[in-house]
């Protein structure tokens, strides 16, 4: 049985307030993006897989642009991402190798 000093968590809501949850999600996403980019730099097959996912998978707009930004950081000679905050749009160009 859990004591009051060390309660058994039933949900993440016990650990994060409504105000801190978005910061946790943002930090986690940034860490995951950095990690994926670092792994793509070390492993060419992973980079090729991520490029294929970008080209062929059904991704949400947020997933698609996030992957494109990570690809641009890893291979800026191949990927170009242009974001227009005023229009709320983004354009991704892939130059062939």
CA angle 10, 15, 18 (to 5 degrees): 110
Q: Say what the pLDDT of residue 26 is.
A: 78
* CA–CA gap between residue 65 and residue 76 (Å, rounded): 15
φ/ψ (deg, to 5) at 25: -60, -45
Nearest to 74 by CA among 45, 94, 47: 47
pLDDT per residue as tens, the chain (97 positions)? 445 555 555 555 566 666 776 777 778 888 899 999 999 999 999 999 999 999 998 999 989 999 999 999 999 999 999 999 999 899 999 998 6
Helix (H) or strand (E) holding 69: helix 61-74
* pTM, two decimal places: 0.72
Q: Which two tokens stand for residue 71?
A: 């690809």
């Amino acid at each position: 049985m859990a004591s009051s000093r060390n309660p058994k968590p039933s949900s993440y809501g016990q650990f994060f307030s409504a105000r801190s949850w978005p910061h946790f999600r943002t930090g986690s996403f940034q860490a995951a993006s950095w990690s994926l980019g670092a792994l793509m730099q070390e492993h060419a097959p992973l980079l090729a897989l991520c490029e294929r996912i970008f080209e062929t998978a059904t991704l949400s707009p947020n997933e698609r642009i996030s992957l494109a930004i990570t690809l641009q950081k890893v291979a800026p000679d191949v990927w170009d991402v242009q974001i227009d905050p005023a229009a709320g749009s983004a354009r991704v160009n892939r130059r062939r190798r």
